[in-house]
Amino acid sequence: MFENIQPVIADSILGLMALYRADTDPHKVDLGVGVYRDDNGDTPVLQAVRRSESALLGAQTSKTYVAPAGNAGFNQTMERLVLGEGHAALRDGRVRTVQAVGGCGALRLGAELIRYADPKTVVHVSTPTWSNHTPLLSGSGLTLQPYPYLDAARGSVQFEAMLTALEQLPPRAAVLLHGSCHNPTGADLSQAQWRELLALVQRRQLLPFIDMAYQGLGEGLDADAFGVRLFCAELPEVLCAVSCSKNFGLYRERTGALLVLGHSGKSADALLTHLVRLARTMWSMPPDHGAAIVHGILGDPALRGLWVSEVDGMRNRILGLRAALLQALQAHIPQRDFAFIVRQRGMFSYLGITREQVRALRERHIYMTDDSRMNVAGLRRDNLEYFARALAQVLAKR
């Protein structure tokens, strides 16, 4: 059956990771892969995670399956983390949550649910969006279409163009939105823009599908959830895919959840039966470990406090790096405006250089994706200068 099968071209980020690993230069800088790094270039296990994990290992008495919907305690604490304690949708009993295999699993589960409800639904995604959104969502059989998002010259959202495009959509079209820390651009909607978008979504009766992969790494745990909380308070239906990979540092534990908001408790219950059924067709039962760790942290006031301070630490490091990077770039490349770097949020910024310039940086041992998305957290205080000088050299070459 497989004798004539041709290899696929490797995912560009995976290819970039391989190139970086093979580079033996001591100055090499990895701005490609989207993981948080500390000032030593490490992606450490959070203290709160370590403590929750040790307690878990001591207490666990069985490895039997949890349940198709996953860890009920985890699901509940995720709802409160995302929506905030006492959110109206929780009080009204309209939210149901299923544990998923990371944020990716949650995105796919949401897409499968939409496809089951109406296979002709088009999912509208920002230009640009995270490269894995396309295979994840279209893999369910749904069609994707782009809407304008980034104003590349300003490094911010071209909000009017976005609204104009979304205004043309038919009722029940799905719109994928990034809850915060837009990947790959770092350009987020302001609170006023979320409110304006809400009015449009209500008027056009669109279905928002919110991807929440970086809660806490932009402005703060509550501020980053502004959009999803607003939408869930005001709309009849919302899907929200949540990832614990970045803010809990649980990348390899594949921990995430899909939250769905239904018209009523009864319709939310019905939705849950379908989510469980769909999850059974993909992974049957979710992995236990990461969700149990998160539940252990969020359910314990002391561990939760420790985790919040660690998330604050990651966010503040990124914000500090953004400010220091801007300073270094202004010193080395005064003729170009890089102020967008401090306006953007989360791990990523689009540097706005050409593919050839990205390749020229690679010759200087600096690795980022061809679209010039850089993971700001991949920089260190001690290589900012090296990076700024290399970029100045590359930009000076015409």
Ligand X SMILES: Cc1ncc(COP(=O)(O)O)c(C=O)c1O
Catalytic (active site) residue 25: no
Tell me if 215 contacts ligand X by CB under 6 A: no
Q: Are strands 143-148 and 238-243 parallel, antiparallel or unpaired?
A: unpaired
Is 378 near ligand X (CB under 6 A)?
no
Name the helix (H) or strand (E) containing 77: helix 72-83
Cβ count near 249 (within 10 Å): 21
Do residues 308 and 221 touch, judged by C-beta distance below 8 A? yes
Q: CA dist 314 to 191, 247, 273, Å?
A: 23, 8, 37
Q: Are 155 and 340 in contact (CB under 8 A)?
A: yes
Which of 48, 165, 187, 213 is the catalytic position? 213
Choose which of 102, 218, 286, 296 interacts with ligand X (CB under 6 A): 102
Q: Where are the alpha helices (DSSP H) in 205-300?
A: 226-234, 265-282, 289-298
Q: Is 28 a catalytic residue?
A: no
Q: CB under 8 Å to 196, separation ≥6 — which residues?
A: 159, 163
Among residue numbers 236 through 255, which ones bind ligand X (CB under 6 A)?
243, 245, 251
213 scored as a contact of ligand X (CB under 6 A): yes
* Residue 346 in the binding site for ligand X (CB under 6 A): no
From the DSSP assignment, how many helices (H) and strands (E) are in the chain?
A: 15, 13
Regarding 216 and contact with ligand X (CB under 6 A), the answer is no
- When binding is defined by CB under 6 A, the residue of 20, 36, 74, 130 that contacts ligand X is 130
> Is 120 a catalytic site residue?
no
Residue 328 binds to ligand X (criterion: CB under 6 A): no
Active site residue 211: yes
Check residue 256 for interaction with ligand X (CB under 6 A).
yes
Catalytic residue among 30, 211, 224, 288: 211
Least separation in angstroms between CB 377 and ligand X? 12
Q: Is 104 in the site for ligand X (CB under 6 A)?
A: yes
DSSP state of 157: E
Q: What phi and psi, each to the nearest 5 degrees, are found at residue 255?
A: -120, 120
Candidates 90-98, 101-109, 229-237, 300-308; binding stretch for ligand X (CB under 6 A): 101-109
The region of 100-108, 144-152, 221-229, 290-298 touching ligand X under the rule CB under 6 A is 100-108
Binding site for ligand X (CB under 6 A): 34, 102-104, 130, 183, 211, 213, 243, 245, 251, 256
Q: Which residues are known catalytic residues?
A: 130, 211, 213, 246
